[in-house]
Structure 1
Amino acid sequence: MTVPIEILNKFPKLSNDQLLLNLSNPIGKSKLIIDTDTANEIDDQFALAWALLSEDKIDLLGVTAEPYSFQHHKEELLKAYKIIKEKKEISDSNIEFVNSYKDWVNGLIDSNTHPDDIYFDSPAEGVEKSYQEIIKIFDKLKIPHEGKVFRGSDQYLTSFDEPLVTESSEFIVKTCLQYPDQKIYVCAIGCLTNIASALLMEPKIINNLVVVWTSGFPTYSINNNTNSLNLVQDVLSSQLLFECGVAHVYLPGYNVGAQLTLSLPDMKEFVNGRGDIGNYLYELYTNNPLHKQRGVIDQTWRTWVIWDVINIAWMIEPSWVPSHIVSSPVLNDELFWKRENESYPMREAFGVNRDAIFHDFFVKIDKLK
Structure 2
Amino acid sequence: MSNYKSKTAFASLLLVLVALFSACNLSENSKIPVLFDTDANNEVDDQHALAYLLFSGDHFKVEGITVNATSAPTGYSENSDVSDHYEEAKRVMQLCGDFYGEIPLKTGANGSFSEIKEHIGEPDFDGHEAVDFIIEQAMKKRNRKLVLLPVGKLTNIALALMKEPAIAENVRIVWLGSNYPEPGEHNQDWDIESMNYILDANVPFEMVTVRYGKPSGTAAVMVSQDQILHRMPGKGPKISAPVAGRHGGEFSNFGDYSVNLFSQFHMWGDPIGRALFDMAAVAVVKNPDWAEKREIPAPIYVNGKWVERPNNPRKILLWEWFDIYGIMNDFFVTMDDYKLVNVR
TM bracket, shorter-chain basis: 0.7 to 0.9
Asked if 2 retains the 8 angstrom alpha-carbon contact of 1:39 and 1:130, the reply is yes
Kindly state the Cα deviation for residue 335 of structure 1 after the two structures are TM-superposed. 3.7
State the match for 2:37 in structure 1: 35
Structure 1 residues 328, 38: closer, same or farther in 2, change over 3 A?
same
State the match for 1:278 in structure 2: 255
State the match for 1:17 in structure 2: none
Take 1:144 and 1:273, find their aligned partners in 2: how far apart are those partners? 18
State the match for 2:106 in structure 1: 150
Take 1:331 and 1:300, find their aligned partners in 2: how far apart are those partners? 34
Take 1:118 and 1:128, find their aligned partners in 2: how far apart are those partners? 17
Structure 1 residues 145, 213: closer, same or farther in 2, change over 3 A?
same
Unaligned runs of 5+ in 1: 1-26, 74-114
Asked if 1 retains the 8 angstrom alpha-carbon contact of 2:175 and 2:206, the reply is yes
State the match for 2:16 in structure 1: none
Kindly state the Cα deviation for residue 340 of structure 1 after the two structures are TM-superposed. 4.7
Kindly state the Cα deviation for residue 314 of structure 1 after the two structures are TM-superposed. 1.1
Take 1:138 and 1:301, find their aligned partners in 2: how far apart are those partners? 30
State the match for 1:168 in structure 2: 130
Take 2:118 and 2:203, find their aligned partners in 1: how far apart are those partners? 18
Kindly state the Cα deviation for residue 339 of structure 1 after the two structures are TM-superposed. 1.8
One-letter code aligned to 1:133: E
Instruction: Supply the RMSD in Å over aligned alpha carbons.
Output: 2.3
One-letter code aligned to 1:356: G
State the match for 1:133 in structure 2: 88
Asked if 2 retains the 8 angstrom alpha-carbon contact of 1:31 and 1:184, the reply is yes
The structure 2 residue matched to 1:244, chosen from 201, 204, 222, is: 201
Take 2:36 and 2:43, find their aligned partners in 1: how far apart are those partners? 16
Kindly state the Cα deviation for residue 303 of structure 1 after the two structures are TM-superposed. 1.4
Residues 229-278 of structure 1 show CA distances to partners (whole Å, capped at 9, x for unaligned) of 10011111011111112101111101310111111221123212324111
Alignment of 1:232-271 (within 5 A): 232-254=189-211, 255=214, 256-271=217-232
Residues 325-369 of structure 1 show CA distances to partners (whole Å, capped at 9, x for unaligned) of 22211122434243252231211112111111111111121237x
Asked if 2 retains the 8 angstrom alpha-carbon contact of 1:42 and 1:285, the reply is yes
Residues 36-69 of structure 1 show CA distances to partners (whole Å, capped at 9, x for unaligned) of 0001000000000000001111100000001112
Kindly state the Cα deviation for residue 161 of structure 1 after the two structures are TM-superposed. 4.0
State the match for 1:16 in structure 2: none
State the match for 1:224 in structure 2: 183
Asked if 1 retains the 8 angstrom alpha-carbon contact of 2:283 and 2:327, the reply is yes
SS of corresponding position for 2:199? helix
Take 2:112 and 2:45, find their aligned partners in 1: how far apart are those partners? 22
Kindly state the Cα deviation for residue 135 of structure 1 after the two structures are TM-superposed. 1.0
Kindly state the Cα deviation for residue 119 of structure 1 after the two structures are TM-superposed. 6.1
Take 1:178 and 1:132, find their aligned partners in 2: how far apart are those partners? 27
The structure 2 residue matched to 1:62, chosen from 64, 68, 72, is: 64
One-letter code aligned to 1:224: P
* Corresponding position: 1:177 with 2:132: no
Alignment of 1:58-97 (within 5 A): 58-69=60-71
Kindly state the Cα deviation for residue 191 of structure 1 after the two structures are TM-superposed. 0.2
Take 2:193 and 2:142, find their aligned partners in 1: how far apart are those partners? 27
Identity of aligned residues (%): 23
One-letter code aligned to 2:308: K
State the match for 1:186 in structure 2: 148
Structure 1 residues 306, 62: closer, same or farther in 2, change over 3 A?
same
Take 1:338 and 1:170, find their aligned partners in 2: how far apart are those partners? 33
Asked if 2 retains the 8 angstrom alpha-carbon contact of 1:264 and 1:300, the reply is no
Take 2:218 and 2:272, find their aligned partners in 1: how far apart are those partners? 17
State the match for 2:336 in structure 1: 366
Kindly state the Cα deviation for residue 162 of structure 1 after the two structures are TM-superposed. 4.0
Kindly state the Cα deviation for residue 210 of structure 1 after the two structures are TM-superposed. 0.9
Paired residues, number: 283
Structure 1 residues 34, 118: closer, same or farther in 2, change over 3 A?
closer
Asked if 1 retains the 8 angstrom alpha-carbon contact of 2:96 and 2:254, the reply is yes
Unaligned runs of 5+ in 2: 1-28, 121-125, 237-252, 339-344
One-letter code aligned to 1:202: E
